[in-house]
Amino acid sequence: MKIEPITETMKVVSVWTLTPMDKPLDYLAGREIAIGDVVLVPFGKRDILGVVWREVDREDISKLKSVISKSELPPLQNSFCSFVEKMAEYTLSPLGQILKMGLRVPDPIAQKNYFLKALNEDVALTPKQAQLRSWLLENAEHGTDPKIISGFSRAIMNGLVERGGAEWVDPIEANARPQLDRKNMMLSDEQQNAVDAVSVSTKPVLLKGITGSGKTEVYFEAVAGALREERQALIMLPEIALTDRFIARCSERFGISPGHWHSDMGVTARRDVWNGVANGKVPIVIGARSALFLPYQNLGLIVVDEEHDTAFKQEEGVIYHGRDMAVLRGHFENANVLLASATPSVESLQNAQSGRYELVELKERFGEAVLPKIRVSDMRDAGLNASSWIGPELVAEMKKRLQLGEQSLLFLNRRGFAPLTICRACGHQLGCPNCDARLVEHRARGRLQCHQCGFEELLPKACPECEVEDKLAPIGPGVERLAEEVAEHFPDARILVLSSDLVQGEKRLKQEINAIMNGEYDIIVGTQMVAKGHNFSNLTLVGIVDADIGLEGGDLRAAERSFQLLRQVTGRAGRAEKPGLALVQSYQPDHALLNAILRQDDEAFYALEIRGREQAMAPPFSRFIAVIISSPDLNEAVQIGRDMVSNSQSLQSAGMRIFGPAIAPISRIRGRSRVRILVKMPKNLALHKLVQDWRSATKKSSKAKITLDVDPQSFF
């Protein structure tokens, strides 16, 4: 029988399915199906979603299946498709997996989440209801998400609605009319200059300004600029835990609630925001890196707050850096991009110096905040025994704070009680059965834990190796152990230990932060969790317990990370009226980096660091691609690594250099052995395709996995 030619009513389209496949598939489709449409297609035994990428001219259509139907989702825009294509090419990831991140939208019949909006009627209210109504009138003229109203229960909200003092409104409608003009604040010249730079620059703008220099006001003004042009604005934040306050501030500024997007949200909110972004009714989005993949109708601005933060790097699934992809998306959307930080990444600063980004600085500070005094405490003179970590100088300063009724913070970036447990009889170190990692004692929970895979067990009585009892001893400090030492010095002080494993959940963290603000604690002992963005006005002493951790971590960004972290932590001291002191304990106080931090000399730090990278031809002066080969069988992983290196001629003749294979620093995670190869390439080389082909050509069993990490941030 003769096969029908493609008729007037049928065509062939190439569809990227939302799968890890490395190429699109052809399907027959009706004329009404257009490029960018989200469609349902048969795929093996299932029906799955895909996106129509282009029309194809092909003769042989006998084996083609047909598109089943067009989904109710709006078609994807050209600019978004171009972005996804470029991102797939850059990150060496399957395009369909990236599309999948953009189409994480739940089914449309889920229930709606309503906003509370005050009504100015003359009705009788209880005092609490009246209070809520005035709060709403003042802060959320057009209504707000009840979840971000604090201090009022649901019962009070419902009561207020029943009495006619407020109503529930559709959040999308509530979002309709943002208030664009600033209410009562004049921007400084520096700030205005930054705002202007964002609106006129055709390049991304890097905004460097210490905490309190007014960066957030610059973002808001830039957002207002985008909204005036009827375009949308996205502000990306690194930490979900900090967003509530930011959202409240944004609502106050614009009189509307911004759309909030992150990976951990409920079905209703997800659907509302996704649709509102797609139809343009949500003008402002505040979100985590995943907000970058929303289907904006007309995106005019992307702000990346704390652009140096490692939380923007996604390390699983599609591996990408949210900041870099923000720059890419901004390019395709023709949107302004603003990257901001007090301590920019070396990459971004270098991009500014080479002219790819435009650098704008804020040097003034608002309010009475002053930079803390920083003093080093030379631990070589401290005379501490092997199981104490708080030197006499720090103890003396803490004592002063206690007498004055002020707060102290001790910072140590190590969770748990002790990072290592060793048998004093045989020398055995307790390790994880699944990973090449030591078990960390968490005494508060009475357990040992692996910080790689989460494996947990009770602290054994006898050594698992030599079976001698009561000889297992903790070595080195974690925050829990440090807190014990604090309690020995100050038995009456109220001490709080703050670390991610102790404070589980956002809500609990907020409670603890509030308790600190309310003066319920005298001394806080914490990990890097305390470093981020909180403002404690009565906190006047920060003790860095061990500034030497991380000064030379051996990894590319160890120095940069320490600089950023120490900067942030020391910035916690004396942020309000009371000037603070940061006391930095170190056994190598003459270290160049430490000195740059002590002198608060950023330029010296960046100059040192950038020169070092250039001499080593390390990023940002070259590009790294990390290859991570993992398998349950170490021998297989090693063999694959060797094969890849011996088959890398095409890469080498193109100017790339191959290092490895080497067993990874953490040689096993979750029962899988790991081998790494590092590819170094000149920055201007766009040879990602070669690397991809190299991977595809490698033979391996189905149990083994080869992951490519472009611009790796972690090297373990």
Q: Could you tell me the smallest distance in angstroms from the CB atom of residue 367 to ligand ADP? A: 5
Find which of Zn ion, ligand ADP, none residue 432 binds, CB within 5 to 8 Å per kind. Answer: Zn ion
* Residue whose token pair is 């991102």: 87
452 touches Zn ion by CB under 5 A: yes
In the list 82, 139, 263, 434, the residue contacting Zn ion (rule: CB under 5 A) is 434
Find which of Zn ion, ligand ADP, none residue 434 binds, CB within 5 to 8 Å per kind. Answer: Zn ion
Residues shown for the chain: 716
C-alpha–C-alpha distance, residues 238 and 532, integer Å = 10
In the list 34, 56, 176, 185, the residue contacting ligand ADP (rule: CB under 6 A) is 185
Cβ closer to ligand ADP: 170 or 190?
A: 190
239-248, Cβ contacts within 8 angstroms, sequence gap of 24 or more: 239/309, 239/311, 239/532, 239/533, 240/264, 240/288, 240/506, 241/506, 241/509, 241/510, 241/532, 242/532, 242/533, 243/286, 244/148, 244/510, 246/216, 246/286, 247/148, 247/286, 248/139, 248/148
C-alpha–C-alpha distance, residues 39 and 53, integer Å = 11
666 touches Zn ion by CB under 5 A: no
Contact 631, 702 (CB under 8 A): no
Cβ closer to Zn ion: 388 or 452?
A: 452
Find which of Zn ion, ligand ADP, none residue 666 binds, CB within 5 to 8 Å per kind. Answer: none
Count of residues near ligand ADP by CB under 6 A: 15
The CA–CA distances, whole Å, from 246 to 235, 659, 672, 676, 690 equal: 10, 44, 40, 40, 43
187 touches ligand ADP by CB under 6 A: yes
| Token pair for 132 | 């809520």
Binding segment for ligand ADP (CB under 6 A), chosen from 61-69, 141-149, 180-188, 508-516, is 180-188
In the list 455, 490, 621, 716, the residue contacting Zn ion (rule: CB under 5 A) is 455
| Token pair for 683 | 């920055």
Buried b (16+ CB within 10 A) or exposed e, 144-169: bbeebbeebeeebbebbbebebbebb
Q: Could you tell me the smallest distance in angstroms from the CB atom of residue 209 to ligand ADP? A: 5
Count of residues near Zn ion by CB under 5 A: 7
435 touches Zn ion by CB under 5 A: yes
Binding segment for ligand ADP (CB under 6 A), chosen from 36-44, 205-213, 307-315, 618-626, is 205-213
Rounded to the nearest 10 degrees, the angle between the axes of helix 78-91 and helix 322-333 is 140
Interacting positions 665-684 with ligand ADP (CB under 6 A): none
Binding segment for ligand ADP (CB under 6 A), chosen from 100-108, 215-223, 418-426, 562-570, is 215-223
191 touches ligand ADP by CB under 6 A: yes
Interacting positions 361-390 with ligand ADP (CB under 6 A): 366-367
Q: Could you tell me the smallest distance in angstroms from the CB atom of residue 455 to Zn ion? A: 4
What strand order describes the sheet that includes 232-236?
259-261, 284-287, 232-236, 299-305, 336-341, 205-209, 358-362
Instruction: Kindly write down the DSSP assignment for every residue of 30-66, as one continuous string.
Output: ETT--TT-EEEEEETTEEEEEEEEEEE--S--TTPPB
Cβ closer to ligand ADP: 249 or 424?
A: 249
In the list 102, 204, 212, 259, the residue contacting ligand ADP (rule: CB under 6 A) is 212
Cβ closer to ligand ADP: 216 or 540?
A: 216
| Token pair for 394 | 């720090």
3 state DSSP class of 182 = coil
C-alpha–C-alpha distance, residues 255 and 143, integer Å = 8
In the list 213, 449, 527, 586, the residue contacting ligand ADP (rule: CB under 6 A) is 213
Instruction: Kindly write down the DSSP assignment for every residue of 442-499, as one continuous string.
Output: EGGGTEEEETTT--EEEPPSB-TTT--BS-EEEES--HHHHHHHHHHH-TTS-EEEE-
Binding segment for ligand ADP (CB under 6 A), chosen from 82-90, 182-190, 379-387, 553-561, is 182-190
The count of C-alpha atoms lying within 13 angstroms of the C-alpha of 515, restricted to the half-sphere facing its C-beta, is 16
Cβ closer to Zn ion: 168 or 455?
A: 455
**Which ranges of 103-165 would DSSP assign to H, the alpha helix?**
127-139, 154-162
Cβ closer to ligand ADP: 214 or 344?
A: 214
In the list 132, 376, 450, 502, the residue contacting Zn ion (rule: CB under 5 A) is 450
Interacting positions 424-483 with ligand ADP (CB under 6 A): none
Interacting positions 393-432 with Zn ion (CB under 5 A): 432
Cβ closer to ligand ADP: 82 or 188?
A: 188
Find which of Zn ion, ligand ADP, none residue 452 binds, CB within 5 to 8 Å per kind. Answer: Zn ion
Q: End-to-end alpha-carbon separation of the chain, Å? A: 61
Residue 648's identity, in one-letter code, is: S
Cβ closer to ligand ADP: 182 or 375?
A: 182
Find which of Zn ion, ligand ADP, none residue 435 binds, CB within 5 to 8 Å per kind. Answer: Zn ion
Cβ closer to ligand ADP: 191 or 667?
A: 191
Find which of Zn ion, ligand ADP, none residue 366 binds, CB within 5 to 8 Å per kind. Answer: ligand ADP
214 touches ligand ADP by CB under 6 A: yes
Q: Could you tell me the smallest distance in angstroms from the CB atom of residue 266 to Zn ion? A: 31
3 state DSSP class of 508 = helix
Cβ closer to ligand ADP: 217 or 522?
A: 217
Pairing of strands 69-70, 38-43: antiparallel
Torsion of CA 143, 146, 152, 157, to 10 degrees: 70
List residues binding ligand ADP (CB under 6 A): 185-188, 191, 209, 211-217, 366-367
List residues binding Zn ion (CB under 5 A): 432, 434-435, 450, 452-453, 455
